[in-house]
Amino acid sequence: MAELLEDIRRRAEATPRLVAVRLGEEVVSYGALHESITSYEAVMDRHGMSQEAAFHAGLMHCVPALTQIEGVAERNRVTSEIVAWLGRGIDGGEGRHLRAVS
């Protein structure tokens, strides 16, 4: 998770308006995603929670359509696809294919 958060930070600094996540009609830039995660990190830290919790809270904040997905299993599947998409460049990203999350 630390590598993913670092990659998001780097991309937010270099190209803040580049699309990080698209879910249906919702589009989130790296800049907005990083800002949201950073703001939740402060809250999570105060309550002894992890960076991963801050990531998921920041993602839900930026992509409220995730909360409208019926069923926990389906919401987790879509969230996992988003995480895989965001992390596609980490560790070389070999064997991964570009795909859109809908």
Q: pLDDT tens digits for 28-70?
A: 999 999 999 999 998 898 999 988 999 999 999 999 999 999 9
Where does residue 30 rank: exposed (0-12), middle (13-18), buried (19+ CB within 10 A)?
A: buried
Instruction: Name the E strands within 1-102.
Output: 19-23, 26-29
Q: What span, in angstroms and rounded, lies between the C-alpha atoms of 44 and 38?
A: 10
Q: One-letter amino acid identity for 9?
A: R
Distance CA 33, CA 51 (A): 14
Instruction: Give the model confidence (pLDDT) of 4-17 as tens digits.
Output: 999 999 999 999 99
d(CA 102, CA 91): 25
